[in-house]
Structure formats: structure tokens, C-alpha cells
Amino acid sequence: MESRQSYFDKKQERFQEVCQRMLAERRLIVASNRGPVDYSLTPDGSLRGQRGGGGLVVALSSCSRFIPLTWVATAVSEGDRRLAEEAGGRIRAPLPEQEIYLRFVVVPRSVYHRFYSVFCNPLLWFIQHYMWNTPRTPSLGRAVYEAWEQGYVRVNQAFARAVAEEAGEDGRTPFIFLHDYHLYLAPAEIRQLLPDAPILHFTHIPWPGPRYWSILPEFMRREIHEKICAADIVSFQTMRDVRDFLVCCEEFLKGASVDHRACTVTHDDWLTRVTYYPISIDAAGLSRFAGSREVQRYEESLSMLRREITIVRVDRAEPSKNIIRGFRAYDNLLERYPGLHRHVVLLAFLVPSRAEVSLYRTYTRDLLELAEAINGKYGDDEWRPIHVFYEDNYAQAIAAMRLYDILLVNPIIDGMNLVAKEGPLVNTRDGVLVLSEMAGAHEQLGEYALSICPTDLEGTVRALYAAITMPAEEKRRRAAALRRAIQEEDITFWMQRQFRDLMAVSRRRQ
Ligand code: G6P
């Protein structure tokens, strides 16, 4: 049988060939709100660069192992702003083995606040994750209108200008690869400045159906659909998202013709292809990192906390990740099966996120209180049922994923969820994946996981118990199947399909 290493090597060679062909045609410009490195100011006033957080950055950063790219991103932190001011134009990102030229988009702080903390995260993110409690929220007042005009529209225009300036660096218009809900208007803005550019927009998060989108006023939702359709390819994580997007275009874009079979939208004489590319992880790179000394050290310290059954979860501290319900399910499990006390432990790794948004702060406070309450209810000097690690420490999270017996991934809804892919790849104990059917990853991995409906507390308790009592042979079979599926459709698969489709657009245009 082919060794794991040569399997990865061949895969990478094939992908590298595609990258070479692509680069021979045009350069690649990537744009997203958050860039690959967050710069912070240290107390002595110097700058410290740290890997940016979230699935988007993890996935895209690994692209640059294979292909040099220019990455246009907003100056988010004070450190980013300082650097952008000092360095002017673009800088080379300080990431080993990666050729990334980082170009900051700098907008006034008040504009960024309206964009990020009023429009994108509280409003768009909540719509796209079905998180509103509609009898009470949201109420779209003047602040939201201002956030649209003075925040969202302006930042999208600023991105378009920055992309066009970068594109002017050499003679050929580059491929433009735009990301996520921060940049729905950018395709049309860029199209005006660079009419020939092959543009692909990829949305990392779910796309709801038209009724839920109607939480947004008509002119906003129409403009979002109209402007994103100026891309050549509009893409999502799953086929479900594609279907919902097509129905939305049919409802919101007057005069558009939507072909549900071919998955295309024609509007104002422009044909947009709508498709899906399930995002994944850099399987070869992550396997190497999981074996590194740094990860090993964390594994040693975490193994002190292990019990016969170690349940792990890894999330941004984020309401859509359903952390509170996950803790409640664990509470119910301990209540129902006292025999498990002292034999089980839950390790929760939560990365601080979006503290600017008050709902995130209260959610995090509530989940930390609940963890303490559960520890108070069952724990003693010998045993602490839940350990919460509230920090951004990727190596530690990977170490924890190596040693879980159960990985709980129960989001209310999630575009993909890369933890569901990272965990089974690095795990060494034939651990069981308990996976929400509302995570995009469920389309690829559901067959080998224990599926749960995320609001179904009882179902989650039962799934956890089924995982605890699962025969070793079945665990082995499922874990191996998960690993295989993840290795086959890894990040190179995600990129390769998109690059090929972009090249096809480019050839048609020549
Ligand atoms: C998700 C989104 C990304 C976002 C990330 C982190 O993965 O799809 O676009 O960057 O969360 O969120 P943040 O607001 O910190 O950038």
C-alpha cells in the first residue's frame, strides 16, 4: 500500500502543476477582511505578528504554501494600522515557507466600527446563522442604515480600489479571489475598475433562504445579491447553500433568469455560475505540525487532565457554536449516569472572539458561569468535570485533538467547521466524532460520525453515551473512514477545483 507520505507528495505535485499553469496565465490576488497575520502593539511599543484566527485564515494561509499571493485585508488592530502607516503599500508577511504579500486597506476607525461591529457581525452573521430571536430582535434603526452607507458600502469600495491598485502592478489583470460576508458588494465595485478580471467570490458561512433574508430591508438584500452576481463564480460550502442562493436571486433580482439545473443566474446580461467547493484543511501540513515538539509538549501537559473518557471541543467563543447547549448536554449526561463520574472529563478550548459585540461578551460570560456551576455540582478535590481554556492557542488545541475519545462539534449552523476535519485527522485514539447535521462538514463526514440535531439536548446526551459505549472495532472503522475522507478532499482539492474553474473563465475571456 502507498505510504501516507508519498500519497501526500503526489497530491501536492499535481496541485503544484495546476498552480504553475495558473500563474503562467495571471497572478492571484486574495481579499478578505481578516488577513493572515494580526499585529499587536507590545507594552514596549514594538509590533508583534500573530497568526490571524478563524477558519478562513487557516485555510487560505495554507494556500500560500503552494502559490505566491497578494492578500488584501483590512487593518483591523491598532498594530495593523501602525504597520500600514509605517510600511505604506505592501509588506511581506512574516510567515515561514509562505510567500504572501500583505496589502492593508485602511479606513477611518468609525467606518470600520460601523462595518464590522454594527453591520457584518451583529447583523449579517446573525442572519446567516439563523440567530435572531425575531419576536424581539433585530430592530433596524438609523444606526443600521448608517452602518450600511457609511460602513459596509464604503469598506467594499475601499477594497475594490486596493485590489485595482494591486492589479495594476503588472500588465495582466490578475485572478481575484474574494472571501466572505464582509465583501458581498466588492465584485461589482471591482468589475467597474477591472472589467476583464476573472472574479470568484467564496462565502464561508451558510446562505439562508429568501424568507430569512427578508430580515434585511429590500434595498439592502437586493444590492447584496445584485453586486455579488458581478463575479464570474459565486461559490459556497455546500449544495444546500447553492440551492438557497438561487432561490434568493429568483426572488430578489427582478428580471433575472435563474437556471436551477445548470446553477447559473443571468442578470443585466451577465452570467454568473453558482457552485460549491467544500473547504478543508492542509492535511499534510497539519499532520507534520501535529507531530512537532511544540504540540508534543502540550500533549504531555494535557495528558495530566485526561480520564478514561476525554471529551474535547474546540471553538471560537461564538454563540452559533452552541457551546452552552453542549455543556448542558454534558450536565445531563453526568446526572443520568453517575457511574461516569470521575471517569470522564470535558476539555473545552475556546478562542476569544468579537468582544466588541455585546452579545458575544454575555454569551461568553454565561458559558463560563455554566461550566463553573457544573464543576460545583459534581466536582470535588479529585475531579473537575470541565476545564475551560479561554485563549488563542492553536498548538494546544491540536494537542487536545490528538487525545480525545469524543470530539463534540454541535454548532446550531456552520458554513463548514474545520475542527470536524482537523480532529479526526490528528487524533490518535480512534475517537468518535459527534457532529451537528447543521455543520457544512456533515455533508462529507456525516456518514462516519454520530449525527445530532443541534437543539436536541436529549439526542446529544444519547449520542455522547453511544460514543462512550461504542465497541472498539466500530470506533476504529469510523475513525479510519473519517481520516480517509479528510485526506482525499483536503485543501488542495478545494483550491484545485476553484483554480481550474477560474482558468476556464479566463480562457473564455481571452
Ligand atoms: C469565520 C468567518 C471568517 C472570520 C472568522 C473569524 O470563520 O467565516 O470570515 O474571519 O470567522 O472571525 P473574525 O470576526 O475574528 O474575523
The answer to whether residues 252 and 297 belong to one domain is: no
Do 239 and 94 lie in one domain? The reply is yes
* Predicted local confidence at residue 92, as pLDDT: 84
Q: Which of 34, 125, 279 to mutate to test the pocket of ligand 1 (most atoms within 8 A of CB)?
A: 34
Q: Are 144 and 118 in contact (CB under 8 A)?
A: yes
88 phi/psi in degrees, rounded to 5: 65, -145
Does residue 484 register a pLDDT over 80?
yes
What is the C-alpha separation between 8 and 241, in angstroms, rounded?
30
Looking at residue 404, what is its pLDDT?
Answer: 98
What residues does 264 pair with on adjacent strands?
259, 273
Q: Rounded to 10 degrees, what is the CA torsion of 29, 32, 34, 37? A: -10
Q: Is the CB of 329 under 6 A from ligand 1?
A: no
pLDDT tens track for 82-96: 999 888 778 888 777
- Whether 200 and 234 share a structural domain: yes
Residue 11 lies in a domain: yes
> Contact, 505 vs 198, CB < 8 A?
yes
Calpha distance 238→356 (Å, rounded): 30
The string of pLDDT tens digits covering residues 400-424 is: 999 999 999 999 999 999 999 999 9
Question: What is the average pLDDT across 257-280?
Answer: 97
Atom of ligand 1 nearest to the CA of 53: 6
Q: Residue 99 is placed in which grid cell?
A: 510567500
Q: Residue 344's beta-bridge partner residues?
A: 309
Give the cell for residue 231: 463575479
Q: What is the mean pLDDT of residues 322-347?
A: 98
Residue 321 has pLDDT above 90, yes or no: yes
Instruction: Indicate the top mutation candidate among 32, 57, 71, 124 to test ligand 1's pocket, ranked by most ligand atoms within 8 A of CB.
Output: 57
Q: Say what percent of the chain tops pLDDT 90.
A: 83
pLDDT (tens digit per residue) in 270-304: 999 999 999 999 999 999 999 999 999 999 999 99
State whether the beta carbon of 117 lies less than 6 angstroms from ligand 1.
no
In a domain, 137, yes or no: no
The answer to whether residue 115 is domain-embedded is no
Cα 90 to Cα 72: distance, rounded to the nearest angstrom: 9
- Residue 1 pLDDT level (bands cut at 50, 70, 90): low
Task: Tell me, yes or no, whether 443 and 340 share the same domain.
Answer: yes
The number of the ligand 1 atom at minimal distance from the alpha carbon of 121 is 14
Return phi, psi of residue 270, to 5°: -115, 130
Phi then psi for residue 472, to 5 deg, are -55, -40
pLDDT bucket at 510, cuts 50 / 70 / 90: confident
**Per-residue pLDDT tens over the stretch 112-158:** 999 999 999 999 999 999 999 999 999 999 999 999 999 999 999 99
pLDDT, residue 55, reads 76
Structural domain contains residue 437: yes
Residue 251's pLDDT is 98
* Cβ of 321 less than 6 Å from ligand 1: no
Site to substitute for ligand 1 among 37, 112, 204, most atoms within 8 A of C-beta: 204
Residues 239 and 345 in one domain: no
Q: Which run of H or of E encompasses 435?
A: strand 432-436
pLDDT score for 81? 93
E-assigned strand segments in 261-378: 264-267, 270-276, 309-316, 344-351
User: Cβ contacts of residue 246 below 8 Å, gap of 6+?
Assistant: 258, 260, 263, 265, 274
pLDDT band at 249, cuts 50/70/90? very high
Q: How far is the CA of 55 from the centre of ligand 1 (A)?
A: 7
CATH at 320: 3.40.50.2000
Determine, yes or no, domain membership for 296: yes
In a domain, 111, yes or no: no
Catalogue the E-assigned strands of 37-196: 37-41, 47-51, 69-74, 90-92, 100-105, 175-179
Q: Give the pLDDT band (50/70/90) at residue 337.
A: very high
The closest residue, in CA terms, to atom 1 on ligand 1 is 54
Ligand 1 pocket check for 27: Cβ under 6 Å: no
> What is the pLDDT at residue 91?
86
pTM: 0.96
Can you give the pLDDT at residue 93? 80
Is residue 13 in some structural domain? yes
Same domain, 469 and 497: no
The arrangement of strands across the sheet holding 257-259 comes to 90-92, 100-105, 69-74, 28-31, 175-179, 199-202, 233-236, 270-276, 264-267, 257-259
Give yes or no: residues 496 and 457 share one domain.
Answer: no
Tell me which H or E stretch contains 30.
Answer: strand 28-31
Task: Name the packing angle between helices 394-402 and 293-303 (round to 10°).
Answer: 60
Residues 404, 431, single domain; the answer is yes
Q: What is the DSSP letter of 340?
A: G
Residue at 127 is within a domain: no
Ligand 1 pocket member 203 (CB < 6 A): no
Handedness of CA 181, 184, 185, 191 (dihedral sign): positive
Place of cell 492557542: 393
Position 160 pLDDT exceeds 80: yes
Q: Are residues 354 and 375 in the same domain?
A: yes
Half-sphere exposure of 272 (CA within 13 A, CB side): 30
Q: Of 239, 280, 204, whose CA–CA distance to 488 is shortest?
A: 280
Q: What angle do CA 50, 55, 56 make, to 5 degrees?
A: 85
Q: Which domain does 398 fall in, by range?
A: 288-488
Ligand 1 near 204 CB (within 6 A): yes
Does residue 209 share a domain with residue 309?
A: no
Query: Which grid cell sits at 346?
Result: 470535558
| Shared-domain flag, residues 328 and 227 | no
Band of residue 57 on the pLDDT scale cut at 50, 70, 90: confident
State residue 2's pLDDT score.
66
| Residue labelled with grid coordinates 478562513 | 56
Does the beta carbon of 56 lie inside 6 Å of ligand 1?
yes
Label residue 474 exposed, middle or buried (CB < 10 Å: 0-12, 13-18, 19+).
exposed
- Ligand 1 atom at minimal distance to the Cα of residue 205: 8
Q: Are residues 274 and 293 in the same domain?
A: no
Smallest CA-to-CA distance from 320 within 415, 183, 442, 419 is with 415
The mean pLDDT of the chain is: 95
Closest by CA position to 128, among listed 236, 263, 232: 236
**Cα distance between residue 187 and residue 157, in whole Å:** 10
Is the minimum distance from the CB of 353 to ligand 1 under 6 angstroms? Answer: yes
pLDDT at 61: 83
| The total number of structural domains that make up the chain | 2
Closest ligand 1 atom number to CA of residue 180: 9
Mean pLDDT for the stretch of residues 319-333: 98
Whole-angstrom distance, CA of residue 198 vs CA of residue 103: 20
CA distances from 439 to 320, 414, 493 (A): 10, 5, 19
Q: Among the atoms of ligand 1, which is closest to the Cα of residue 57?
A: 10
